[in-house]
Amino acid sequence: MPPKPHRVLLNRVSLYADEAAAFMRRRRVARRPFARLYYPHGRSADHAQDSRSGAELFVAAGRLIEVAGKKPKG
């Protein structure tokens, strides 16, 4: 007996939602720190953390994160 049409639709939506959730989970786990600079005309450049400029950017960013402090609750 074939499944009811709405079941097929629900299964399909659930499948996509599961895929999206898994993608976001993998992204959170796998995402590495990065430093990206944007220039005029839409050009951008990534600087690896182990490069000299990248390391300096991360140090400067770390200081700003320190200045910002923790997120206020509420």
Partner 1 sequence: MTTVTIQEARARVTVGIFAEMPDAAAATTPSGDAAEAALEFLTEMSPDLRGAAILGPDKEVLAGTGEEPERWAEDAAALFEVADGAEDAPVEQIHIATEQGEVFAVRNAGLAAVTVTDRFALASLMLFDMRSTLRQLATPNFGPPEGTKPRKGDG
Which amino acid, 70? Answer: K
Cβ-based nearer residue to partner 1, 15 or 45: 45
Cβ-based nearer residue to partner 1, 10 or 45: 45
What residues make contact with partner 1 under the rule CB under 8 A? 27-28, 31, 33-41, 45, 47, 53, 56-58, 60-65, 67-71
CB of residue 47 vs partner 1: minimum separation in angstroms?
Answer: 6
> Positive or negative, the Cα torsion across 65, 33, 25, 20?
positive
Dmax over CA atoms of the chain, in Å, equals 65
